[in-house]
Amino acid sequence: MKIALTNQPEMKPLLLLKQLAKNPWFGAVASLAIIIPSLYIILDDVTVLRKEYILLLISFPIYLKSLKKIFDEILDAPEDNL
């Protein structure tokens, strides 16, 4: 039995999704893409319970976690540029 060491074409989208999931910039942009329209809809009429409240509950912690990861990377970067 021979083991293939080459990347199979059907695995490339999975590898791309894994890289995007680990990228904090993608998480921040994606969560902002959900937060901003949701706030626009919610502020139209605050008294009505909408699905956008649930979207905010999910996307806001993702946004904060992504920002924390971005700032941690900035603070942990070596200061060789000075």
Answer yes or no: is 17 within a domain: no
Determine the Cα–Cα distance for residues 35 and 65; give it in Å rounded to an integer. Answer: 14
Q: Per residue in 2-50, pLDDT tens?
A: 665 665 677 788 888 888 888 899 989 999 999 999 999 989 888 888 8
Answer yes or no: is 65 within a domain: yes
Report how far apart, in Å, the C-alpha atoms of 8 and of each of 12, 22, 34, 82 are: 7, 21, 33, 43
Determine the Cα–Cα distance for residues 64 and 21; give it in Å rounded to an integer. Answer: 15
**What is the per-residue pLDDT for 2?**
61
Range of 56's domain? 23-75
Tally the domains of the chain: 1
Please check whether residue 38 is in contact with residue 73, taking contact to mean a CB–CB distance below 8 angstroms. no
Answer yes or no: is 60 within a domain: yes
Answer yes or no: is 1 within a domain: no
Answer yes or no: is 51 within a domain: yes
pTM higher than 0.75? no
Higher pLDDT, 80 or 56: 56
Backbone angles phi, psi at 45, to 5 degrees: -150, 105
